[in-house]
């Protein structure tokens, strides 16, 4: 839908004010204003992780098997960054909107690709973590998880406290690994039940996460994208709002909640 940014935002605010069930797919862009790097942002001012690092050498089980110290060091540095980060107004606006919807018998479900747990810190309930989280790590031999202390790990790779030959790996979903079944089921249910599906701060390039919007579109849900850049879905959604989520969401929710 074209139209001046102001008019499109006003229309989306009205849609949100009338909605009962909203699903929100979030990506790294929603945490950018909390100081956490995105992966693929093209904008020169955006620090994009994958520009510096090749994901095939870091975000795969093979990378970890090949060089566990290198992968552990990179994820541990990101873990500390996430632990020190605070939710931004975009995260907080989604919490406000969820509370408003729940007060009128509806709901808002956040389906996040992010592993930083900033939606949790913002007070959003029932967050569906499609790609796991970076805060808890598990033993490669027993599968038992722990939450390491909020300081850099002393050694790389990190030995497991559960097994003499085990190592600790982050509880994130790497490329080539299946998403948690319960998260996929919850995401399909949310996409199947929502009247409004929002894609916020995601390049919509990673699957199956980027595919859930198709379920909502097939059912005729209103679809909204919030992103300063155009993506592969910008021409497919009902409303494409160009802007930063930390600025756009509070404007929408301020009038919607």
Chain residues binding ligand BV8 by CB under 6 A are 27-29, 32-33, 38-41, 46, 48, 59, 113-115, 131, 172-178, 201-203, 205-208, 226-229, 231, 244-246
| Closest C-alpha to 149, from 137, 140, 165 | 137
- Smaller CB separation from ligand BV8, 32 or 110: 32
- Minimal distance, residue 21 CB to ligand BV8, in Å: 23
Instruction: Give, as one character, the DSSP assignment of residue 195.
Output: S
- Minimal distance, residue 149 CB to ligand BV8, in Å: 21
- Minimal distance, residue 104 CB to ligand BV8, in Å: 27
Alpha-carbon gap, residue 93 to 252, rounded angstroms:
9
Edge-to-edge strands, sheet with 145-146 = 145-146, 132-139, 168-172
Active-site residue, selected from the candidate residues 21, 91, 119, 131:
131
- Under 8 Å between Cβ of 31 and 81: no
Q: Give the contacts of 170 (CB within 8 A, at least 6 positions apart).
A: 75, 79, 115, 132, 133, 134, 136, 137
Q: Which helix (H) or strand (E) holds 252?
A: helix 245-256
- Smaller CB separation from ligand BV8, 19 or 64: 64
- Minimal distance, residue 176 CB to ligand BV8, in Å: 5
Enumerate long-range contacts of 78-82, CB under 8 Å, 24 or more apart.
78/134, 79/134, 79/135, 79/148, 79/170, 80/150, 80/151, 80/152, 81/35, 81/36, 82/36, 82/115, 82/116, 82/117, 82/118, 82/134, 82/135
- Smaller CB separation from ligand BV8, 13 or 163: 13
- Smaller CB separation from ligand BV8, 102 or 218: 218
- Under 8 Å between Cβ of 28 and 36: yes
- Minimal distance, residue 164 CB to ligand BV8, in Å: 28
- Smaller CB separation from ligand BV8, 33 or 107: 33
Query: In a 10 Å sphere around its CB, with 0-12 CB exposed, 13-18 middle and 19+ buried, how is residue 150 labelled?
Result: exposed
Task: Sort strands 145-146 and 132-139 into parallel, antiparallel or unpaired.
Answer: antiparallel
- The answer to whether 91 is a known catalytic residue is no
- Minimal distance, residue 226 CB to ligand BV8, in Å: 6
Instruction: Write out the catalytic residue numbers.
Output: 131
């Amino acid at each position: 839908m074209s139209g001046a940014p102001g008019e499109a935002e006003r229309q989306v605010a009205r849609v949100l004010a009338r909605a009962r069930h909203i699903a929100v797919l979030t990506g790294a862009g929603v945490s950018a204003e909390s100081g956490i790097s995105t992966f693929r942002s093209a904008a020169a001012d955006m620090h994009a992780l994958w520009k510096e690092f090749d994901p095939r050498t870091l975000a795969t089980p093979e990378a970890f098997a090949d060089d566990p110290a290198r992968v552990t060091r990179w994820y541990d540095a990101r873990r500390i960054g996430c632990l020190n980060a605070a939710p931004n107004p975009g995260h907080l606006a989604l919490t406000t909107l969820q509370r408003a919807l729940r007060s009128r018998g509806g709901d808002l479900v956040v389906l996040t690709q992010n592993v930083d747990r900033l939606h949790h810190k913002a007070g959003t309930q029932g967050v569906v973590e499609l790609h796991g989280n970076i805060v808890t790590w598990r033993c490669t031999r027993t599968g038992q998880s722990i939450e390491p202390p909020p300081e850099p790990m002393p050694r790389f790779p990190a030995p497991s406290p559960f097994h003499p030959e085990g190592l600790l790996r982050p509880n994130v979903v790497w490329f080539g690994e299946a998403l948690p079944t319960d998260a996929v089921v919850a995401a399909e249910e949310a996409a199947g039940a929502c009247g409004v599906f929002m894609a916020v701060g995601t390049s919509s390039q990673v699957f199956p996460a980027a595919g859930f919007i198709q379920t909502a579109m097939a059912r005729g849900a209103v679809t909204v994208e919030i992103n300063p850049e155009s993506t592969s879905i910008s021409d497919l959604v009902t409303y494409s709002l160009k802007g930063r989520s930390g600025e756009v969401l509070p404007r929408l929710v301020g009038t919607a909640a």
